[in-house]
Amino acid sequence: GIQVEQSPPDLILQEGANSTLRCNFSDSVNNLQWFHQNPWGQLINLFYIPSGTKQNGRLSATTVATERYSLLYISSSQTTDSGVYFCAVGSRTAGGTSYGKLTFGQGTILTVHP
Amino acid sequence: EAGVVQSPRYKIIEKKQPVAFWCNPISGHNTLYWYLQNLGQGPELLIRYENEEAVDDSQLPKDRFSAERLKGVDSTLKIQPAELGDSAVYLCASSLEAGTPQYFGAGTRLSVL
């Protein structure tokens, strides 16, 4: 099956700093989502971005599908940004029909200090 | 609009006991997923439903796990009997259809003693 690797595994920042999280995947995808898992365990949708660039406030994401990677940018980080960030991808079958299943990376644990 | 609703949020049981988790997806979402998340790892798919049909249950341990989605809306995941290694968070997600964005519930944290 498809492999998903996230880096870095851990990231510690001071409030106000910027950061970039990376997600590499091993096959063509038709679904790529970035999630933030808060300390209570809730997975919060950040972006649905199988290709292209999107921005939402202080967060933005870029997926270069041909090179099989995606980047999540966090600017002016806040303590509430702390938690685990997951990249998850869905791959196509050989016939082009989506499996539907999301394969998750191991996550990046982000800690933002005041 | 309400998100994916799961209950209970927490469950503590003794090993060999049965347990059931319930999920109500977002209204209009045809596809429903159950994922398992172990500590320190990303979620892994257990089963996917398209309406009331289970179309991908290859990762579901069928000797002790069962699931159903009656009338293509709510779903129940059952474990019988539970083992110590089943302690984890069980997440339900839904999407309009396969390949579209998935939205997750808050999960059920299961502890088997």
Quickly state the pLDDT bin for A94 (edges 50, 70, 90): very low
Find the helix or strand (DSSP H, E) in which B31 lies. strand B31-37
> How far apart, in whole angstroms, are the C-alpha atoms of residue A46 and residue A72?
10
| Average pLDDT over every residue of A40-49 | 94
Quickly state the pLDDT bin for A95 (edges 50, 70, 90): very low
Q: Provide, as residue numbers in chain A, all residues whose Cβ is less than 8 Å from the Cβ of B50.
A: 100
In one letter, which amino acid is B66? S
With left for phi above 0 and alpha for psi between -120 and 50, is residue B95 left, alpha or beta? beta
| Average pLDDT over every residue of A11-26 | 97
| Average pLDDT over every residue of B28-57 | 93
DSSP tag of A96? S
The per-residue pLDDT for A93 is 60
Q: Do A42 and B45 touch (CB under 8 A)?
A: no
Quickly state the pLDDT bin for A96 (edges 50, 70, 90): very low
A103 closest CA partner among A10, A19, A9, A35 = A35
Q: Do A42 and B107 touch (CB under 8 A)?
A: yes
Burial of B12 from C-beta contacts in 10 A (0-12 / 13-18 / 19+): exposed
How does the average pLDDT of chain A come out, rounded?
A: 92
Cis ω before B101 (30° cut-off from 0): no
* The pair of three-digit structure tokens given for residue A11, joined into one six-digit string: 């990231």
Quickly state the pLDDT bin for B71 (edges 50, 70, 90): confident
Q: Provide, as residue numbers in chain B, all residues whose Cβ is less than 8 Å from the Cβ of A45.
A: 101, 103-104
**Interface contacts A/B by beta carbons within 8 Å:** 61
Residues of B near A (CB-CB distance < 8 A)? 31, 33, 41-45, 48, 50, 55-56, 89, 91, 95, 98-104, 106-107, 109
> How far apart, in whole angstroms, are the C-alpha atoms of residue A89 and residue B26?
21
